[in-house]
Amino acid sequence: MKYVSTRNKERVVSGAQAIVEGISPDGGLYVPQQFPELKKADWEKLCGMDYTERAAFVLSLFLDDFCYDELLTFAKEAYGRFYGEDPCPLTKVDEDLFFLELWHGPTCAFKDMALTMLPHLLTASKRKIGQEGKTLILTATSGDTGKAAMEGFRDVEGTSIIVFYPSDGVSDMQRRQMITQEGKNVCVCAIKGNFDDAQSAVKRIFTSEETAAKLAESGYKLSSANSINWGRLAPQIAYYISAYCDLLNAGEIKFGERVDFCVPTGNFGDILAAYYAMRMGMPEGRLICASNSNKVLTDFFRSGTYDTRRKFVETMSPSMDIIISSNLERLLFEYSGRDDKLTAERMNALKAQGYYSVSEGELAKMRELFGCGSCDEEETAEVIADYFDEYGYLLDPHTAVAAGVYGEQEEEKGVPCVIVSTANPYKFPADVLEAVAQVREDDPYEAAKKLNEFSGAPVPQPLCGLDKKPVRFDKVIEKGEIENFVLEKAKGGL
Ligand SMILES: *Cc1c(COP(=O)(O)O)cnc(C)c1O
């Protein structure tokens, strides 16, 4: 299986190369040349496997420079760091309504599903392509990626990681998790700006030959832990396939029956993985793209125009506070009939004018599969309260956005829907507490304590004791200083 760039199909690389590079030098994203197909017998095999085996199986279809046993070793190490028995349990709350809980990992958000795997994939990929020297992982985060990436890469031989986050754009708990991060090879820095500022600066560094040369002097090559990296996306495909198997095993569906997925969306990585699972032969249901008040994707699926010329809104679901959803580029590539020139033109238009449009034909095709909707702050809080009242089930604000959008869809009776649950509610204790108990407590630890007393839901083990950890990183810089910061850190060996 080879990979091509969405902006130049002539650029063909192996899976290992795609993972090491992170992004193509032309600015495009790597996508598989074709999608492997799951046969009926494969599904039967998958149904008899545990999660680590399913993940290794799915990955082995995409990464043929790796063998199944090697991938299984990685998966066992990665998901062995999760708490509880199943790394991604499916919880049924009502008839035909399920939550796929992707937050049982070391940082309590779904990013762990991929970021515990990526360091294994990356270091092995470097060996496979014979790349020596150190890798510098640069990451822009809206709150969850940064922490999960540092946790994944901490003290991994031959790697260093620098994370940038918007100083006012993450929850207190997310900030505490990041600034207390342990590990010799990690560094995190706040910037005055929003997530898009951080992401644009990081992308610029990635495509600058001058910066690459300077970093090489310090012995570093760059790579990315954001979902532009294929090594981030591939492990995410596995949990959709696994959820389908779990529904089959539980007798909730018969093989071939449709299941809908409703996904709280920011950078369009998570929902794209669901789309890829369907391209591999998972029976097609609807994919509902749920946005918070930054509803650029909802507007896109309604109008066919992706328009970033709008105000950025800070919400209680900060990991979805994104205006430029990088992974949509991969979807555009597919729906344009894999037209690399057109994809490149659209991305250039986005950069130059802040918007682009797709054709009516493309939009109609997308809408056959994709639903969409958005949920504002007030609705999100109401949904959290309603689910707790009705089901005794506590939602984090991101998952609540998806639940709210699901509730607004014109329901087709008898179709099971899986709402993708992306974070543990204790990552956002102040907002969740306020939603269910109408009490405002800004201190995250006090809020968590009160939320626990009020709801009885257990505080996940990785968030306990965070208040006692020393702060290691308290620097805040201007967004224009990001590049210099990276160069200085690399010079000093971090
Ligand atoms: C990252 C994140 C999302 C959005 O996922 P994308 O792949 O960026 O669409 C949703 N919820 C949480 C909690 C996240 O951390």
Which atom of ligand 1 lies nearest, measured to the CA of 399? 11
Question: Which residue has the CA at smallest separation from atom 12 of ligand 1?
Answer: 422
DSSP code string of 356-394: EE--HHHHHHHHHHEEEEE--HHHHHHHHHHHHHHHS--
Q: Report CA-CA distances (Å) from 452 to 82, 199, 432, 457, 469.
A: 21, 35, 11, 6, 21
Q: Is the CB of 224 under 6 A from ligand 1?
A: no
Confidence of residue 303 (pLDDT cuts 50, 70, 90): very high
Give this prediction's pTM. 0.95
What does the pLDDT average to over 59-68?
A: 96
With a 6 A CB cut-off, is 425 part of the ligand 1 pocket?
no
Burial class (CB in 10 A: 0-12, 13-18, 19+), 254: exposed
Candidate from 319, 330, 431 with most ligand 1 atoms within 8 A of CB, to mutate: 319
pLDDT of residue 484: 95
d(CA 292, CA 312): 11
> CA-CA distance, 59 to 68, in Å (whole number)?
8
Mutation choice for ligand 1 from 108, 139, 267, CB with most ligand atoms inside 8 A: 267
> Domain locations in the chain?
87-102+236-462
Indicate which atom in ligand 1 lies nearest the CA of residue 398. 11
Work out the average pLDDT over 393-417.
Answer: 93
The domain 87-102+236-462 is placed in CATH, from the list 3.40.50.300, 3.40.50.1100, 3.30.413.10, 1.10.540.10, at 3.40.50.1100
Distance separating alpha carbons of residues 445 and 461, to the nearest angstrom: 13
Q: pLDDT (tens digit, 9 = 90+) per residue, 424-443?
A: 999 999 999 999 999 999 99
Give buried/exposed letters for 38-68 (b at 16+ CB in 10 A, else e). Answer: beeebbeebeeeebbbbbbbbbbbbbeebee
Q: How far is the CA of 479 from the centre of ligand 1 (A)?
A: 23
Ligand 1 atom at shortest distance from the alpha carbon of 265? 9
Q: Vertex 182, ends 178 and 184: CA angle to 5°?
A: 120
The finding on whether 38 has its CB within 6 A of some atom of ligand 1 is no
What is the predicted pLDDT for the residue at 493? 84
DSSP character string of 189-252: EEEES-HHHHHHHHHHHHH-HHHHHHHHHTTEEEEE-STTSHHHHHHHHHHHHHHHHHHHHTTS
**For range 111-126, the mean pLDDT:** 96
Regarding the beta carbon of 105 and ligand 1, being less than 6 Å apart is answered no
Is 246 near ligand 1, meaning CB less than 6 Å away? no
Does residue 144 have its Cβ closer than 6 Å to ligand 1? yes
